[in-house]
Amino acid sequence: MNKQTKIYIAGHRGMVGSAIWRKLEAEGYANLIGKTSKELDLRDQKAVTEFFESEKPEVVIDAAARVGGILANNDYPYQFLMENLQIQNNLIDLSHINDVEKFIFLGSSCIYPKHAPQPLKEEYLLTDSLEPTNEWYAIAKIAGVKACEAIRKQFGKDYISLMPTNLYGTHDNFDLKTSHVLPAMIRKFHEAKIKMEKTGHKEPVELWGSGSPMREFLFVDDLADAAYFALQNKLPENLYNIGTGKDLTIKELAELIQKIVGHEGEIIWDSSKPDGTPRKLMDVDKMKNAGWEANTYLKEGIKKTYQWFSENQDKFKEVKL
């Protein structure tokens, strides 16, 4: 690859896609392609076919997906399954048909079984049943991983899948109906802090579950760096975990965010709500042995994320599904 390589980043306006775009721009890549969902509906096979025929990208990075937390996955299972299948099938197949030699498929650690041994190794894929609260999204992503593996096996193309752990960072989704746990906590603690400043009363914050599950979190700029590493190198295998290899309890996460935000009220845990998978820690040895590892500490990443959130209040509108 050279600095003029034509690279299409699907989902370039999202948290992941925009981070990859910033990384490539910073590295001097000047021939990047991005289309908004209004300009190109990735669920529409005809539209995607016409896009590939006219733009002829040399490299494709798939950061486009229908995403959300436990609530959204539970309430809209069909959309999470079907729309993700449509998006990735169109991108993978049209990339193959149009001789795209390098394709990076981005997924999620939810592809692994609910009760797989910890930490999660790449070979645990399809060894047991999935977490029911997000199996629809997971099944779609597994299909994408296997499609890339099949093209790699049958046609020898450099199609690779990167599976990040729980992501957070600037340009995240802070909508309380559809967001993941970390940005939802930032918003809840922030709004309670603002209310306290107005009323003088310490406002409690209610959070789902018991606080006992353990989770790993990766700053999105680190994922962008991993994607850049994968672009620069022809990695020997088809599937790589991307994470920090370190986790903490949801309770510890809440207390850390509470401190960074400056909220002083009580945290109330609603144990009637689901916890999800008890633990989800990634084994990142394979990527580390290839030459890449994460470098942003959680506290530092949350501070950057909260600063961005605070500076972009006008951008947050409730998402209609």
* 11 class by beta-carbon count within 10 Å (0-12 exposed, 13-18 middle, 19+ buried): buried
Residue 280 counted as an annotated binding residue: no
- Are the CB atoms for 60 and 94 separated by under 8 Å? no
Residue 59 counted as an annotated binding residue: no
| Residues forming beta bridges with residue 205, ordered by sequence position | 267
Helix %, strand %, coil % of the chain (to 5): 45, 15, 40
Question: CA 191 to CA 25: how far, in whole Å?
Answer: 34
Residue 106 counted as an annotated binding residue: yes
Residue 83 is given by DSSP the state: H
Q: Note the pLDDT of residue 179.
A: 79
Question: CA 83 to CA 81: how far, in whole Å?
Answer: 6
Residue 188 counted as an annotated binding residue: yes
Residue 54 counted as an annotated binding residue: no
Which backbone phi and psi does 197 adopt, to 5 degrees?
A: -65, -30
Q: Give the C-alpha distances (Å, rounded to integers) separating 72 from 49, 81, 106, 180.
A: 30, 12, 20, 10
Residue 108 counted as an annotated binding residue: yes
Question: CA 160 to CA 149: how far, in whole Å?
Answer: 7
Question: CA 253 to CA 265: how far, in whole Å?
Answer: 16
Which of 16-25 are b and which e, b meaning 16 or more Cβ less than 10 Å from the residue's Cβ? bbbbbbbbbe
Q: Which listed residue (8, 29, 112, 137) is catalytic?
A: 137
Question: CA 171 to CA 2: how far, in whole Å?
Answer: 28
Q: Give the C-alpha distances (Å, rounded to integers) separating 52 from 6, 90, 98, 236, 316.
A: 12, 10, 7, 27, 32
pLDDT tens string, the chain, 321 residues long: the values are 799 999 999 999 999 999 999 999 999 999 999 999 999 999 999 999 999 999 999 999 999 998 776 777 778 899 999 999 999 999 999 999 999 999 999 999 989 998 899 999 999 999 999 988 889 999 999 999 999 999 999 999 999 999 999 999 999 989 887 778 999 999 999 999 999 999 999 999 999 999 999 999 999 999 999 999 999 999 999 999 999 999 999 999 999 999 999 999 999 999 998 887 788 899 999 999 999 999 999 999 999 999 999 999 776 654 433
User: Around Cβ 311, how many Cβ atoms within 10 Å?
Assistant: 10
Q: Give the C-alpha distances (Å, rounded to integers) separating 154 from 61, 92, 227, 249.
A: 20, 14, 23, 42
Which backbone phi and psi does 23 adopt, to 5 degrees?
A: -65, -45
Q: How many residues does the chain have?
A: 321
Q: Note the pLDDT of residue 276.
A: 74
Domains assigned to the chain: 7-172+217-246+280-296 (3.40.50.720)
Q: Is 297 a catalytic residue?
A: no
Q: Note the pLDDT of residue 280.
A: 85
Residue 171 counted as an annotated binding residue: no
Residue 57 counted as an annotated binding residue: no
Q: Note the pLDDT of residue 318.
A: 44
Coil, strand or helix: which one is 24?
Answer: helix
Residue 107 counted as an annotated binding residue: yes
Coil, strand or helix: which one is 80?
Answer: helix
Coil, strand or helix: which one is 61?
Answer: strand
Residue 246 counted as an annotated binding residue: no
| Residues forming beta bridges with residue 159, ordered by sequence position | 103
Q: Note the pLDDT of residue 24.
A: 98
